[in-house]
Structures are given as structure tokens and as C-alpha cells.
Structure 1
Amino acid sequence: MQDEVLILGGGVAGCAAAIALARKGRSVTLIEREPTPRHKVCGEFLSGEALEDLHALGIDVAALGAVPIHNVRLAAARRAAEAPLPFAAASLTRKALDTAMTAEAVAAGVRVERGRSVQSLSRTTEGAWWATLDDGTSREAPTAFLATGKHDLRGHTRPKDPEQWVAFKLYFRLSAAQYADLGDASELMLFPGGYGGIQPVEGGIANLCWVIQGRHLARVGHRWENLLEKMKRDCPHLAMRLEGAESLIAKPIAITHIPYGYIRRSTDEGLYCIGDQAAVIPSFTGDGISIALHTARCAVAAYVAGEPATAFQPRLRSALVAQMRLAEVAADGLNNAFARAILPFCLRVWPGVMRVTAKLTRVTQPSAAAPQMVVN
């Protein structure tokens, strides 16, 4: 029996779309290349809108151990500035979130196939979508949702990343004093050629995630250890945070060639592109998970309403473009040497600009009645 919808990718966007479609009575098959949920290169920040979308999907992030985030802190050189966030937020590892969302998809009736890699996706002469898997078998459906995250599928690639961005992620157990000082903040740290973020996640540990332009990585011999040491020299605040810290994984999780600023302009009939396959916002905004959930929700609504993918995709782009471009401008400013030097000083004088920036770079705003995360 052929399903109505084939979803390629079992991350946040793919699972969110699968859950919503199944609850609306659609038959759905979701294919994910990883055999089990795992840690991913992700800042793991859940904004107000993300919390609202997850609540609607039945995901209780507080029960999963999510840490409430109330403040944003910016550090460059030896200065730091802090401001309260203008919305509720939390932090949760992607492994925990993806595990919960996959379980919710199965409970909703989605046919989930894990550990299966899609080699190609093409249209049949009848207009259906035909996915060929790594073992030579295939899956077919009239409609497909492309949700493969930062990994492109052959034949459906995005433009190359001119800056050759590389992202890294490590988990640390900070010293008791540094963990207490980090508190309920998400910290953004600036250094030449990139930026990084550190914030608490469940289990009393901290997530350090950073991105660097390829040419700056080349200057340290393409060695992440050298890069981390240079980052600590360039940003003493980071060195302070990691003093006495225990790394919980031997080497970072990494991903290359991230096309920041990309927004998909068009698509083929019957192919809805969501998550990073729809738009890739600069990481510093913390809006990646929110975009994944938002685009999945919008695509499901369009599909159920009978809006063709070819009409939905450019409409989605129009809705996202203003915030995406603003985020790009802000990211370019963070990579400017003069801005790095004066920004922390300016923010001490006017910390409210951080609240304004955090609010304006949201893709959409959570509703006034958005659920607040309560931790027992």
C-alpha cells in the first residue's frame, strides 16, 4: 500500500511534519539515515516559538530535563554584557529532543524507517516521488517532504557556501564555580572569523558550539585543538569558562559548508522543503530549531489546505526573508574586527539593544498565550 506522504529526514523538521500529518489522518513514511538519535552540531536553544510548537506537538521539554534560559550574554575580548531575553526560552540536547519526537511520531502512527539512507529522489512518469534507498529498494508517494537538514540529497542540492563555514560542538562538565556563574544564560562569544555559544543543557553539563570560516581554520592547520586554544586567547571569557572543565567527548562533532543565509526560492510539484532545506539562518540567532518547527508547521498547513508546493515555497520565502536578511547583517557585524572591539563596551551602556536584536531576528513571534516552561 502506497503512503500519501514520504518524509526524508527524521530530525526536528521531519518529525514535526510527520506527527502533524499523521494526526490529520494522513498515511506517512519517514526515512532517517541514522539508526538511532544522536548528538548533532546544534546550539540546542529553544526560543519561545519553538516551545510553543513543541507543546502543540505534545513534547514536554521540562519532563525531558530542559534547562530554562532567561538571559543572553555577549562576550568579546575581556568585556561581557548581559540582558534578559524578551521571550521564554530553554535548552535541551538534540539527542533528547529527537528521541522524544521520534517516539511521538511512532505513537501518532507514522511508519518510521531508521538506518536507511536515501540515495536519490526523482519523479515517476505518473508524477509521484520515488526514493531509492541504500539497499536498492525504493519508496513511493504522491507527495514528499524534504527535511534532510544541512545534508543535501543528490539532485536537490543548495548553492555552495562561499565562506566554507565549519561548525564544531563539544560537551563539557564545567567547574562548579563556572557552571554557577553561567547560570541561566546563553552566552555568545566573538573571535576573529567566527563566533561560539555556550549554555547549560540537561544533566548539569554545558554545550559549546562554534562556527569558523574555512580560511581561519586553515591558519591553525585545520586542527580543532589549535582553533580552540586560539579562541580562548582571543576571548578570555571563554578561557575562564573552560578553566577546570572536563570534556565529555574525545573530539568535536563537526559539519562543513553551511550555506548561511540560504532561502529556497522554488521547488518541484509535490515536494515541500522544510527546515534547513528551506532556510539556513546564522547560528548566533538561536533560531535554527524554531525555523525547523515553523517551516514544518507551515508546510503541513499548506498541504492539508491543498496549496501546491510550487506556490507554498515562494510564499514561505517571502515570509522569512526580512528576518533572515537582518540576521545576516547582524552576523556580518559580529565578524567585523572594529565591531568586536567596541560592541561589548556599547552594550554596557545600552544592553537593551541585545533584547531588540534577539526579538527582531525571530522568524515569528510566540503568541501572548505561549506556554511557559515550568520546571519542578
Structure 2
Amino acid sequence: MKIYDVIIIGGGLAGLTSAIDLSLSGFEVLLIEKDKYPKHKVCGEYVSNEVLPYFKRLGIFINKTNSDLISRLVLSSRRGNTVKVELPLGGFGISRYALDNLLYEKAKSCGVEFKFETVTNVAFENHQFCIKTHTNEFHAELAIGSFGKRSTLDKKLDRDFIHNKTPWIGIKAHYQNDDFPDGEVQLHNFEGGYCGLSKTETGAVNFCYLAHYDSFKREGSVENFNKNIVAQNPKLNSFLSQADLLFDKHLAISQVSFQNKNAVENHMLMAGDSAGLIHPLCGNGMAMAIHSAKLLSEEIKTYRHHQNRNQLEVNYSQIWKQTFRKRLIFGSMFQNILLQPKLTSIGMLAVSKSPYLLKTMIQQTHGKPIL
């Protein structure tokens, strides 16, 4: 019976990045992902430049892609009043279709083994993981869970957050809009939600928003919601009226949860959105997923020398909280402000008079370059 050093469940940013990092350090890694690459996902598709030094160390060079180099943020209230500010670190716009596939190809070249199957059960017995799919059974000393915001595996593991329904739905599509500026990420508020716009490597604009499900349900369809709710913001109305939908239909994900999650569940080490999700308005979820992969990979490398599973789990849980807890708190605060019109108006007035204040707020939800 073959026993892998590490099995990773889920091939998003955290899963792929940790697979690359660990395989480069000599670990035998199996990654199990239900869908083949490339594929589109509901995602803001803006990545903070804080990940670039770490990517470079792993041999991943974003400058060789056609990603949009983003240096400005434009923020608008429901009425379309705007504030523009230069981003402290900047970032890049790239689709998950392209970025995930780039990491997948890199992981394969590093020797990572892939199985495109759905995991049905995970058991930890006799200091070892047994991971089952519909057709196979795999074994490993360590297991990483990077299966996203919400999964049937969360139910299998009986995680606390999975028992609470959440009112958030995410919608995403790519549009062609030749008037959308290069180098800019935009965040526009509307009743019950907010929408991010930024260019991707193809020149298409990623249109991605988070909305309260009750108001979304009342409209009956994405098209009606866009027309009757989203487009009430003059900036979003202008964008939609001049843009052509490039997807056959919008992508959607429901039950998006921002509740606290444990970084370790039944000895499985969680990474990316499986460990914790920052509010999308902060534009840093992708960078956080990549950073969490680095933190976890470093702890696993330390574990290789000391073979103390309990210490690995304690260390990773602590370093995850130390690194991301403040970002999550500030992200929640900023979302609460944006969802309340009076607070949004006060906030917009304050940051319009002092752009430095908005820069400071941005820094609270972003990290420093990952060295």
C-alpha cells in the first residue's frame, strides 16, 4: 500500500501553491481535485503584489503573463460618488482560469501527482489518513484541506460554521468593455452588496459581486437583479450599459460564510478559504490563500525533522491567527460600513477629504510582501 507524505484535497490557489512548495522540498504529494483545469471560478481575480516574492522563489513568474498591473482603487457609494486612491502595494488582475492553470502546470513539472475525483470521506486512524473517492482509496501521513468556502467535506467533518446558514451569494462573469481603464480595480456599493471590477489577462473585465440572498431572491434572476438593484449605482449602470457579457451565463456560489473556522479539523490542516475567508471587498482573499499555503508548508517542513503532529497542529493554528486575524476583523468592519448607507456616506466624506485614511484602511486588510 502506497503512503504519500501529503495528500491535498482541493486544487485552488492554496492547494496548488502548497503542493508546489512541498514538492520542491522533496515531499511526495498527491492532489485530489474534482474538476479538470482550466476552469472559471467565482472570484474577484485581483491579487495583491505581496505574493510576488514568494511566487518568484517557487519559480512562478507573473510578469510572463498578460495580467493587468493594478495601481489604483476607485471606490463609489450607492449614489455613485467616488474616491480614487493609489494602492500602497498594488496588485495584478488575472483570471482564476489562467492563474490556477499556471500553478497546475508548475505543480505537474515539480512532480505533484493529480487525481481528478471527488473525495467522499476522510478518516484519521493509527496516525494516518485514509481518503476515499467514489473509485479509489489513498493513504498519507498528512492531509491538507483546501476545498474552498463551503464543501460537503465540511459537513463530514462536522465543522461548527457549516451548521449556520449565511445570507450571502456571490455572482461573477467576464464582460468586454473597451472603455474600462487599465491598472484600476473598482469597488462599487449597491443596496445589500458591493461589486468589484478589474481587468484580467485577456483584457476582459471581471464583474464580481456579493449580495444578500433575500434581495437577490426577490428579483428572481441575475439579469433582473443586475438591472433593478446593481445598476442603481450610476457607475455600475454605466458599466453594464456599455459592456458585453462574454460568458454564456453568470457563475454563482451561495452560502458564502465569513464565520470563524478552525485551521485544523480532526488533524487535517486547513488552507485558503477552508481555514478562513476575508470579505471580498478587501481584495485580498487570493493573496491570503497563497500566504496560508506558505505558512502551512513551512510548518510541515519543520514537522519532517521533529515528527510531532500535535506541535505541528498547534504551531500552524497559532501562526494562522497571528497572520490573518486582524485582517479578518477589519474586513468585517469595512463590510458593515459599506452595507449601511449612512455610514458609507460618512466614510466617503472622510476619505475624500483625506485619501491617506483610505490607504491606511487598505493596509489593515493587506500584508507585507511575503519573503
What is the TM-score of this pair, normalised by structure 2? 0.92
Amino acid at match of 1:167: G
Distance 2:204 2:160 in 1: 35
What is the aligned counterpart of 1:228 among 226, 229, 232? Answer: 226
Residue aligning to 1:81 = 83
Distance 1:304 1:148 in 2: 22
1:158, CA displacement in angstroms? 5.1
Residue aligning to 1:133 = 133
Residue aligning to 2:277 = 280
Residue aligning to 1:366 = 369
Summarize the Cα distance change of 1:95–1:289 in structure 2 as closer, same or farther, 3 Å threshold: same
Distance 1:265 1:11 in 2: 17
Residue aligning to 1:56 = 57
Amino acid at match of 2:169: V
Q: Deviations over 1:74-128 (max 9, x none)?
A: 01212111000000311100110011101111111111112x110111112x221
Amino acid at match of 1:297: K
1:341, CA displacement in angstroms? 3.3
Residue aligning to 2:316 = 312
Distance 1:365 1:49 in 2: 6
Kept in 1, the 8 Å contact 2:150–2:255? The answer is: no
Residue aligning to 1:11 = 12
Residue aligning to 1:198 = 197
SS of residue matched to 1:73? strand
Structure 2: runs of 5+ lacking an equivalent: 304-310
Q: Work out the percentage of aligned pairs sharing the same amino acid.
A: 23
Amino acid at match of 2:188: M
Kept in 2, the 8 Å contact 1:231–1:238? The answer is: no
1:252, CA displacement in angstroms? 0.8
Amino acid at match of 1:132: K
What is the TM-score of this pair, normalised by structure 1? 0.91
1:28, CA displacement in angstroms? 0.7
Distance 1:5 1:323 in 2: 29
Q: Deviations over 1:211-232 (max 9, x none)?
A: 01112212323x1111111234
Kept in 2, the 8 Å contact 1:167–1:256? The answer is: yes
Residue aligning to 1:374 = none
Distance 2:195 2:182 in 1: 17
Residue aligning to 2:308 = none
Q: Quick check: 1:173 aligned with 2:171?
A: no
Q: Quick check: 1:253 aligned with 2:251?
A: yes
How many equivalent pairs are there?
358
SS of residue matched to 1:305? helix
1:334, CA displacement in angstroms? 0.8
For the aligned residue pairs, the C-alpha RMSD in angstroms reads 1.7
Report 1:232-247 matches (<5 A): 232-247=230-245
Amino acid at match of 2:45: E
Kept in 2, the 8 Å contact 1:261–1:282? The answer is: no
Residue aligning to 2:208 = 209
Kept in 1, the 8 Å contact 2:85–2:359? The answer is: yes
Kept in 1, the 8 Å contact 2:66–2:202? The answer is: yes
Kept in 2, the 8 Å contact 1:280–1:288? The answer is: yes
1:266, CA displacement in angstroms? 4.3
Summarize the Cα distance change of 1:86–1:140 in structure 2 as closer, same or farther, 3 Å threshold: same
1:162, CA displacement in angstroms? 4.5
Distance 2:166 2:339 in 1: 12
SS of residue matched to 1:348? helix
Summarize the Cα distance change of 1:225–1:158 in structure 2 as closer, same or farther, 3 Å threshold: farther
Kept in 2, the 8 Å contact 1:8–1:147? The answer is: yes
Distance 1:52 1:333 in 2: 33
